[in-house]
Amino acid sequence: MNIVFRQGIRHGIPIALGYLSVSFAFGMKAVSDGLTVLQAVLISMTNVTSAGQIAAVPLMVGGASLAEMALTQLTINLRYALMSLSLSRKLDGSMGTLQRMIFSFANTDEIFAVASSQPGKVGKYYLYGLMLTPWIGWSLGTFLGAAAGTLLPEFVRTALGIAIYGMFLAIILPPARKSRPVRFVVLAAVALSLCFHYIPGLNTVSSGFVIIICGVAAAALGAWRYPAEEDAA
């Protein structure tokens, strides 16, 4: 096997391990919300994104419109556009249009972070290896959580409910500590989200639109107040 491919696979292992636990919680939640095991696994195999999938399941079972679903996914996953733009400059000559189309499928936050931190340019064999292990971990964890989640004792299942939010906090808090603009954006988004949950009238807005409104408003407020700090974020 190609040595660069193997190196990519190796770099993907820690990502895959992290994904296993979070996708396990996702699979468990999806099934308890009313999806079948196969449906939960299909979502993970085709979407490969934590936040988008976690927001999608309640919209599916709640019968949201396809437009609300599309807009919600667009907002939550808009960050990938930026990552793809940034990674574009990091790819070597082996990454033609077809290879770019294949790799795009699994350009997650963590895979992007590892690929960007490599010295020099990266090529197709490395990236294929790097996307493979996390994709397997994400799909396998979903399957295990969806299929076996109900076998776990009640107190373990309840405790796992917080896993996904733990991961979100681990993503947002370190940069919020370092960068004042990020701190401002997070606090603004949380404040808006609290308003939409507790203020009568506002709390009737459906979950997808709440994420869209809070995300766009807080990011725009941050960009307006701290336009020069984008590199610190």
Give the footprint of other proteins on residues 50-89 (CB under 8 A).
51-56, 59-61, 63, 66, 69-70, 73-85, 87-88
Position among 35, 130, 131, 146 found at the interface with other proteins (CB under 8 A): 35
Smallest gap from Cβ 208 to other proteins, in A, equals 11
- Asked whether position 18 contacts other proteins by CB under 8 A, the answer is yes
Rounded Cα distance, 220 and 227, in Å = 10
Instruction: Please work out the total of residues on this chain that contact other proteins, with binding judged by CB under 8 A.
Output: 104
Half-sphere exposure (CA, 13 Å, Cβ side) for 135? Answer: 18
Whose Cβ is closer to other proteins: residue 4's or residue 209's? Answer: 209
Whose Cβ is closer to other proteins: residue 9's or residue 176's? Answer: 176
SS3 for 91? strand
Whose Cβ is closer to other proteins: residue 1's or residue 155's? Answer: 155
- Asked whether position 150 contacts other proteins by CB under 8 A, the answer is no
- Asked whether position 165 contacts other proteins by CB under 8 A, the answer is yes
- Asked whether position 117 contacts other proteins by CB under 8 A, the answer is no
Smallest gap from Cβ 162 to other proteins, in A, equals 4
- Asked whether position 164 contacts other proteins by CB under 8 A, the answer is yes
Position among 9, 28, 43, 131 found at the interface with other proteins (CB under 8 A): 43
- Asked whether position 206 contacts other proteins by CB under 8 A, the answer is no
Rounded Cα distance, 194 and 164, in Å = 19
SS3 for 226? coil
Residue type, 47: N
Helices then strands, counting H and E runs in the chain, come out as 11, 0
SS3 for 10? helix
Whose Cβ is closer to other proteins: residue 3's or residue 78's? Answer: 78
Nearest to 28 by CA among 159, 134, 171, 131: 159
Nearest to 192 by CA among 178, 180, 203, 177: 203
Provide CB contacts within 8 A for 221, sequence distance 6+.
Answer: 184, 185, 188
- Asked whether position 22 contacts other proteins by CB under 8 A, the answer is yes
Position among 10, 92, 104, 150 found at the interface with other proteins (CB under 8 A): 104
Smallest gap from Cβ 115 to other proteins, in A, equals 12
| Alpha carbon of residue 141 to chain centroid | 15
Q: Pick the piece of the chain touching other proteins (CB under 8 A) from 5-13, 117-125, 143-151, 186-194.
A: 186-194
Rounded Cα distance, 229 and 233, in Å = 7
